[in-house]
Amino acid sequence: GTINVLEAARANNIKKVIFASSSAVYGDHAAAPQKESEPQNPSNPYGLSKLMGEKYCNMYSENYGFDAVSLRPFNVYGPRQSISRGGVVANFMACAVKGTSPEIFGSGEILRDFTYVQDVVDAFEFAMQKSGKANRLSINIGTGKNHSLIEVLKMVEKISGKSLAPVSKGRIVGDAHQTLADISLAKKVLGWEPMYSLEKGLEKTYAWYKGHFQ
């Protein structure tokens, strides 16, 4: 899929490609906070595919002369996220609305840098507007703060007014113990920084799920 997009960009003289990469490129044992300059060692096929996508983008940029920027969003959540394919926040929200028990994989103490979807959209817009400055860079998009799954669950309980009894499941193989973005490069090169705290983002997310899954 990525190569098809790059081929289309080359054939149609597109000036810039923004690639949606992922924090999964860092893998399970990366030091926190994760910096773009650190080695990437993805621990699952998804992370490896994203890392290869970055390399394809840089290769095409160098060979064919168009700009390519790779953004690495950290744990994106927000309205309209699929419950079946979405992440932990989507699961918590659906359970809060329906009054069911959410599943937590592992101990619940794994740490995630949860990033609200509107902040991620803004980052892509900023990247489109920066001419040449970010070319062939990979840039973290996160909040620079992380929270455990238990913390997030408690926030959802507070926002929804519901008491949620989680069901513990085994840890997912290849799942990182913690994610935490160093976002200094995004601030410097893109002029971007997140606008939503986790609590504010969860409030907006819950309002959407409540209106669509009653």
Rounded Cα distance, 132 and 138, in Å:
13
Q: Looking at 26, 46, 60, 116, which residue is catalytic? A: 46
Farthest-apart Cα atoms in the chain, separation: 56
How far is the C-alpha of 28 from the C-alpha of 178, rounded, in Å? 7
Q: Which numeric CATH code is attached to 2-212? A: 3.40.50.720
What are the beta bridge partners of residue 138?
A: 70
At 76-128, the pLDDT tens digits run 999 999 887 768 999 999 999 998 999 887 778 889 999 999 999 999 999 99
User: What's the average model confidence in pLDDT over 44-70?
Assistant: 96
Helices (H), the chain: 2-11, 45-64, 88-98, 117-129, 149-160, 184-185, 198-212
pLDDT at 213 over 80: no
Question: Which pLDDT band, with edges at 50, 70 and 90, does 171 fall under?
Answer: low
How many contiguous H segments (helices) and E segments (strands) does the chain have?
A: 7, 9
Supply the pLDDT for residue 173. 63
pTM exceeds 0.75, yes or no: yes
User: Quick one: average pLDDT of 30-39?
Assistant: 89
| pLDDT value of position 172 | 67
The Cα 107–Cα 59 span in angstroms is 41
Q: Give residue 107's pLDDT.
A: 78
Per domain, the residue ranges of the chain are 2-212
202 pLDDT higher than 60: yes
Tell me the pLDDT band of 190, cut-offs 50, 70 and 90.
Answer: very high
pLDDT digit string (tens) for 131-170? 678 899 999 999 999 999 999 999 999 999 999 988 877 6
Active site annotation includes 206: no
